[in-house]
Amino acid sequence: MSIHTDRHARRGASGLIDGLRAALRGDVIDPAHAEYDAARSVWNGLIDRHPAVIARCADAADAAEAVRLARTFRPPVSIRGGGHQVAGSAVCDDGLVIDLSAMRGVEVDADRRVALVQGGARWGDVDTATQRVGLAVPGGEVSTTGVAGFTLGGGMALTSRQFGLSCDNLRAVEVVTADGEVHRADRDQHADLFWAARGAGRGIGVVTSFEFDLHPLGPEVAAATVFYPYGEAGRILRAWRELAPAMPETVTPQLILWSVPRDPAIPEALHGEKCVIVTGVYAGPADEADAALAPLRRLVTPLHDMTATVSYVEQQSSVDDLFPDGNRYFMKALGFDGLDDAAIDSLLAWDARRPTPESLIALRTLGGAVARVGSTQSAFPHRRDRFNLSIDAGWSDPGQDASAIGWARGMWDALRPFSNGGVYVNFAGLDDDAGAAREHLFGDSAKRLADVRTSYDPEGVFAAAAQRP
Ligand SMILES: Cc1cc2nc3c(=O)[nH]c(=O)nc-3n(C[C@H](O)[C@H](O)[C@H](O)COP(=O)(O)OP(=O)(O)OC[C@H]3O[C@@H](n4cnc5c(N)ncnc54)[C@H](O)[C@@H]3O)c2cc1C
């Protein structure tokens, strides 16, 4: 950057910061602020971005003021919900972060079975509030994950084959568009904005609240968690490709290649051993679950079976500790219409090279209610996928950056020919940053999405946010 433009940028940044300080009720955090480093960190410790200013909004009016100032000063804009996107897209370099992390309110109307959730809430906030009245919305399986990014990208939950993606349960969103106005978008008003918010909602505006339909579920659920010997992975996967999609819709089965966690409830002799983990939560009364969950428990002889009836809130936070904040993560994802023998062999060959004990691969099963939503009803483009694969490298030593990232990239390259080429935006990482991957992120929705973005944001106030997963 030249001295000339640098001086302009500084003057622009100070005008923006002064404007935010004058207009917002919430905190305005610049690089001199004591909380700057904490406020710019996200879940993924690999991300080290330095925004010019962070506008920590107290309410929708603050978000609207921040957008109006962004329109005047034209900084790159990012929007922070829970800060969990692995690509770190909640934060930007040298720009404005519109940070909703202080807006975590959840209101539940038990009679109407509706929850109103603020744009910075975490799934733990929602589950705690809705479970007080025995209701639930399909949400994240780690309680600290943000509702906003999760839902705007679709949202694959442990109950999605029964209740749909998180975005399928939206009744409406409140969104600040690029003109600084606050709109309600639903099936009737701003229907194109609502269409985009269900699966491709990055860069359409700042969503300040989500209105969800709720389902009776809990306070206890039956949850299968079964650990199988790693040596049986090939046999299990060959059975899985038929069994998982044929399971009743009350079960959304997941298969994970990982290591046995160091959990005191599991025999110590197994801790750290490579294994196949099969999970499934029954999306109905816990005492009716046995028959539906049984096939997950007898794939071969298990190493350990933790299937139990647990509180829904406990289930939804049971793996939180396995994904600690500040560790280093790199993810890649692919959609599959099926898995033939060659795909399974390649998957296992790459899995055998998993670089660290924290790294894993997860195979989620779609179908059921997810597949029944028409492709023009929402922008989520992966409705017909049978499986979603995420390749999740995790590590803590920066010296392992190259090997961990190299493994995830190598596996993705090897498996891509067997996939349908689709990449689920919520699992998209740094390789999908900077707009390189619009087509595989948004598929058939890409063109309509571009039109919606242009009509609501002709000046490109959210252009930087739209370029990031
Ligand atoms: C440990 C872990 C477990 C996960 N498990 C699952 C899972 O089970 N199923 C699944 O589908 N996904 C899962 N994910 C992926 C998750 O859905 C995405 O990371 C999602 O983006 C998280 O939302 P967030 O609000 O925390 O994201 P952020 O990082 O805050 O934001 C992500 C993106 O959304 C945009 N955004 C955020 N808030 C708003 C807003 N209020 N208005 C407009 N745009 C906004 C941002 O611009 C950014 O591009 C998981 C992620 C992690 C880290």
**What atom of ligand 1 comes closest to residue 78's alpha carbon?**
47
Res 11 pLDDT > 70 = no
Rounded Cα gap, residues 45 and 326, in angstroms: 4
**What atom of ligand 1 comes closest to residue 147's alpha carbon?**
25
Q: Given pLDDT bands bounded at 50, 70 and 90, which one contains residue 89?
A: very high
User: Which residue bears the tokens 């090939």?
Assistant: 234
Specify the pLDDT at position 287: 97
Closest residue by Cα to atom 17, ligand 1, is 150
State pLDDT tens for residues 39-88.
999 999 999 999 999 999 999 999 999 999 999 999 999 999 999 999 99
State the Cα torsion 106-137-112-371 to the nearest 10°.
Answer: 140
Q: The domain at 3-99 falls in which architecture?
A: 2-Layer Sandwich (3.30)
Res 436 pLDDT > 70 = no
Q: Which two tokens stand for residue 157?
A: 């939950």
Rounded Cα gap, residues 215 and 135, in angstroms: 5
Dihedrals φ, ψ of 74, to 5°? 55, 45
Specify the pLDDT at position 205: 98
How many Å is the maximal CA-CA distance in the chain?
71
Going from the Cα of 194 to the center of ligand 1, the distance in angstroms, rounded, reads 18
As a whole-number percent, the residues of the chain with pLDDT over 70 amount to 96
Res 91 pLDDT > 70 = yes
- Choose which CATH entry (3.40.50.300, 3.40.220.10, 3.40.50.150, 3.40.462.20) describes domain 220-431: 3.40.462.20
Specify the pLDDT at position 4: 40
State pLDDT tens for residues 283-317.
999 999 999 999 999 999 999 999 999 999 999 99
Q: Comparing 233-237, 343-347, 373-377, 454-458, which segment has the lowest mean pLDDT?
A: 373-377
Binding-site residues, ligand 1, Cβ < 6 A: 43, 78-85, 89-90, 100, 119, 140-142, 145-146, 148-150, 152-153, 155-156, 202, 206-207, 323, 426, 465, 468
CATH class given for the domain over 106-217+436-459: alpha beta
From 187, 160, 161, select the one nearest 173 (Cα to Cα). Answer: 187
Q: Where are the domains of the chain?
A: 3-99, 106-217+436-459, 220-431
State pLDDT tens for residues 229-277.
999 999 999 999 999 999 999 999 999 999 999 999 999 999 999 999 9
Average pLDDT, the chain: 95
State pLDDT tens for residues 274-288.
999 999 999 999 999
Cα dihedral sign, 252-122-82-12? positive
**What atom of ligand 1 comes closest to residue 82's alpha carbon?**
26
Strands (E), 168-295: 170-176, 182-185, 206-213, 215-216, 220-229, 254-259, 274-281
Strands (E), 160-240: 170-176, 182-185, 206-213, 215-216, 220-229
Specify the pLDDT at position 2: 37
Q: Do residues 198 and 378 make contact, with C-beta atoms less than 8 angstroms apart?
A: yes
- Is the pTM here over 0.85, yes or no? yes
Going from the Cα of 271 to the center of ligand 1, the distance in angstroms, rounded, reads 30
Going from the Cα of 220 to the center of ligand 1, the distance in angstroms, rounded, reads 26
Res 7 pLDDT > 70 = no
Specify the pLDDT at position 432: 77
Rounded alpha-carbon distances, angstroms, from residue 312 to 82, 220, 265: 21, 5, 18
Specify the pLDDT at position 5: 43
Bigger pLDDT: 2 vs 107: 107
